[in-house]
Amino acid sequence: MNSEPRLICLIGAECTGKTTLAQGLAHRMGGLWVPEHLRRFTEQHGRTPNRHEQLSILDEQVLQEAAALAAAHRQPCTWVFCDTAPLLTAIYSDCVFADASLYPQAHSLHARYALTLLLEPDIPWVADGLQRDGISQRATVHALIDRALAEQAWPFVCISGSKEDRLLAAERAVLSVAV
């Protein structure tokens, strides 16, 4: 393989299709998928994290991404699709706990992604276990993500529409990234 594997971030508020799209892209494009650590945390503990656990959620997501990137080097594989990002952990820490302390680290880490796919909250909200506060937070979280991406000038593409529309748009966006 002539090029390095590329990290692609899928980010969006709760129930915007991140997991479905990340898995679909990995399958369709022969890439790897990094699941959201927060989902595993809530399943293992039967609750959402407390304020003091947010940094460990962020750190574990980063470790999982690094492990997938190393696996992509060994395979070789061009794409690693990350189902969320440290930025989302920072945003939820801010929204839920009024704790903005994770933003500097999240901003620094976000620069690693070759592209960010921002999933629009235009699909029906479906309860997703214990993870978050529900549909009432979705618009607020989306606006915070959108603002952070724009302020930092990271490359991102908004993804919306039906499941198939999202997959096609995301695939086109990923393929437009120079490898």
**What local confidence, expressed as pLDDT, does residue 133 receive?**
60
Q: 146: buried, middle or exposed (CB in 10 Å: 19+, 13-18, 0-12)?
A: middle
Q: To 10 degrees, what angle do helices 135-152 and 103-110 make?
A: 60
Note the pLDDT tens digit of each residue in 62-110: 999 999 999 999 998 999 999 999 999 999 999 999 999 999 999 999 9
Beta bridge partners of 157: 117
Per-residue pLDDT at 1: 42
Q: Domain tally for the chain? A: 1
Residue 1: inside a domain: no
C-beta neighbour count of 2 within 10 angstroms: 5
Distance CA 5, CA 10 (A): 16
Query: CATH no. for residue 136?
Result: 3.40.50.300
Of 67, 78, 148, whose CA–CA distance to 114 is shortest? 78
Q: What is the per-residue pLDDT for 3? A: 76
Residue 63 lies in a domain: yes
Residue 106 placed within a domain: yes
Residue 60 lies in a domain: yes
Contact between 93 and 131 under an 8 Å Cβ cutoff? The reply is no
Rounded to two decimals, the pTM is 0.92
Residue 125: closest CA among 12, 16, 10: 16
Range of the domain at 119: 6-175
Q: Which positions of the chain have pLDDT values less than 50? A: 1-2
